[in-house]
Amino acid sequence: MKLLIRGGRVIDPANKFDGIADVLIVDGQIAAVEPDIDAAADEVFDAAGKLVVPGLIDMHVHLREPGQEAKEDFVSGSKAAAAGGFTTVATMPNTSPAVDNAALVRSMVKRAEDVGLVNIKIIGAVTKARKGQELAEMRDMIAAGAVAFSDDGSFDDNAKVFVNALDYLHDTGKVVICHEEETTLVAEGVMNEGKRSALLGLKGRPTVAEDIAVARDCLLAEYTGGRVHIAHISSARAVDIVREAKRRGVRVTAEVTPQHLTMTEDLVDPSDSCTKINPPLRTQADCDACLAGLIDGTIDAIVTDHSPHAPEEKDREYIYAPSGFPGLETSVGVLFTELYHAGKINLRTLISKMTAEPAKIFGLDAGTLSVGAAADVTVIDPDLLWTVDAEKFFTRGSHSPFVGRELRGKSIATIVGGKLLTLNR
């Protein structure tokens, strides 16, 4: 099977390539990337005026299997990923039960192979049942296919257990993904602590809770020589802490979401739980610091933290509704609209943070258009105007703060293993 993607602007950060070229795919692999390929193909995709990039990677999503399929499952989640241009996603282990053993990892790997439209990677729990008390059998989970470990949704506040985890994984190449909010400082908080929370009468989650947690984990990574990855960073001080740790040679990486780059606490409306997330939406200064960190390399990757919930769960008072909203289908549009078209970031940096860099952090065979690589490719129309409509979502989560927004930029084709995916709504 031969697929020829013709005449697009190919941006391949892993190979430092940016230019007009054709991409030839043969039997599921990249066969050539060069101008004016003269080859017969079973299918030709005209990409003139479009961007052709390695398949987008999102290493922080919640696909809710096992046990929470009313919110999302591998079928609906992988459809949402494909619709958003993502060819590889990694699902977090805060499920019911938590993904804390090899048998469960193996079953999820098999399930992903059977029903996933995209490549679904499995992240295992650091501790048993994510309780932060006893290490899970992480090496067994690695053998079963786990690509990283996290107790996401919870801060591992037992420093000794966390140190043991870093020591345990030291020679495996695997990373611990850290949810950074010091537990006692955020209890019952539902938004960023500050003037806005006081005005609305809502209990806050202060930035210092994140800063303390990030500082501790950077210090423990330095102490052990282990690898930590800061999940969904949102605080200006936390960005500074990571920047300084990197200067000292600490093995720390970080990620940021579109919402923490483009949205502030001013958007919080107590009558609409769409904006309730953890960590919460911060101030404009925090957004600006996250963007600066993304551009200067302090922050390595962009993730969505795709967190769908059943409609009846989000249709509650702000203080009772669960945190999170779906992001896979809106990420490209938001980033292109608010960052690229606003002149705040260049395309090569933006694409790198969604392809080559996350692949490098997690040791994935992905994020590149190198000849011989698996043909995971995303085609983006950078100027396509479209309106976010929850009725057209493939995810089961409908509560998004971007619903009704006109965005500029959208994935128009997703190719996984050389197969051009077709989604019917």
User: DSSP class of residue 148?
Assistant: E
Partners of 12 in beta bridges: 17
User: Whose CA is closest to 155, among 89, 230, 242, 101?
Assistant: 230
| 305 given a catalytic annotation | yes
Reading the block at residue 215, the tokens are 């500082």
CA dihedral 397, 401, 402, 405 (to 10 degrees): 130
Helix (H) or strand (E) holding 228: strand 228-230
Q: How many whole angstroms separate alpha carbon 329 and alpha carbon 226?
A: 34
Give ∠ CA 20-377-389 in degrees, rounded to 5: 105
Q: How many whole angstroms separate alpha carbon 357 and alpha carbon 350?
A: 10
Q: For residues 212 and 185, is the Cβ–Cβ distance under 8 A? A: yes
Q: For residues 265 and 235, is the Cβ–Cβ distance under 8 A? A: no
Q: For residues 154 and 179, is the Cβ–Cβ distance under 8 A? A: yes
> What is the secondary structure of 366-393 as a DSSP string?
-S---TTSB--EEEEEEEEEEE--GGG-
Q: How many whole angstroms separate alpha carbon 168 and alpha carbon 284?
A: 39
SS3 category, 31: strand
> Which residue of the set 156, 305, 376, 381 is catalytic?
305
Partners of 420 in beta bridges: 415
Residues assigned a catalytic role: 305
